């Protein structure tokens, strides 16, 4: 009896570690909120003042019900239809404890692939990045869109 009890006690930490890892990599319960109207743009990128002073990460990214916008100093540089986005995945790069996400899309008649790197702004009170992922899934069901998990924030 003592051997069975000691065996179970020795497996308990392993079971807790497995449950903790499983908890960290399960999809988050995403509250999308109301989708944006065609004229309303919602910001999905985080501000990084230090990187902007160094001349990096000078673009901001917004989306509405139809398009993804790349803007710099209030001027729209690129406007991509959500149905042209083919892949959204997390990269290994982390800035200010936030992951950089890769947004790949096709453009033109030759279907040339291009990409953006977006530092997400997902937080407890700002769920716009989750809404963007849901809007892309709705606009292009064939797009590869990774789920947001605690490990991918």
Per residue in 89-99, pLDDT tens? 999 888 888 88
pLDDT for 113: 92
Residue 110 lies in a domain: yes
At residue 41's C-alpha, the angle toward residues 93 and 43, to 5°, is 25
Residue 11 lies in a domain: no
End-to-end CA gap in the chain = 46
What CATH number is given to the structural domain containing 57?
Answer: 2.30.29
pLDDT truncated to tens, each residue of the chain (153 aa)? 778 878 787 888 888 888 888 777 776 555 555 567 767 889 998 887 777 777 777 789 999 988 999 998 889 999 999 999 999 999 988 888 888 899 999 998 888 999 989 988 887 778 888 889 989 999 999 999 988 877 776
Residue 122 lies in a domain: yes
Residue 9 lies in a domain: no
Rg (CA), the chain: 20
What's this model's pTM, rounded to 2 decimal places?
A: 0.76
Domain holding 71, by residue range, is 29-152
Residue 19 lies in a domain: no
Q: Alpha-carbon distance 52 to 81, whole Å?
A: 27
What the block records as the tokens of 124 is: 């407890």
**Of all residues in the chain, what percent are helix, strand and coil, respectively (each to 5)?**
30, 35, 35
Cα 24 to chain centroid distance, Å, stands at 16
pLDDT for 35: 67
The CA–CA distances, whole Å, from 37 to 79, 124, 143 equal 16, 22, 22
pLDDT for 142: 94
Coil vs helix vs strand at 43: strand
Residue 109 lies in a domain: yes
Residue 23 lies in a domain: no
| CB of 48 closer than 8 Å to CB of 61 | no
Question: Considering its fold, how many domains does the chain have in total?
Answer: 1
Residue 131 lies in a domain: yes
């Amino acid at each position: 009896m003592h051997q069975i009890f000691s065996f179970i006690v020795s497996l308990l930490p392993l079971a807790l570690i497995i449950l903790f890892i499983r908890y960290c990599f399960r999809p988050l319960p995403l509250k999308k909120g109301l989708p944006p109207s065609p004229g309303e743009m919602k910001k999905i990128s985080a501000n990084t003042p230090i990187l902007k002073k160094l001349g990096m990460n000078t673009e901001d990214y917004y989306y509405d019900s139809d398009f993804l916008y790349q803007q710099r100093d209030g001027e729209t540089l690129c406007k991509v239809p959500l149905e042209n986005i083919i892949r959204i995945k997390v990269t290994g790069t982390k800035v200010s404890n936030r992951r950089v996400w890769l947004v790949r899309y096709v453009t033109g008649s030759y279907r040339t692939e291009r990409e953006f790197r977006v530092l997400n702004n997902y937080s407890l009170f700002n769920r716009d990045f989750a809404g963007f992922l849901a809007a892309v899934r709705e606009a292009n069901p064939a797009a590869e869109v990774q789920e947001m998990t605690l490990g991918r924030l």
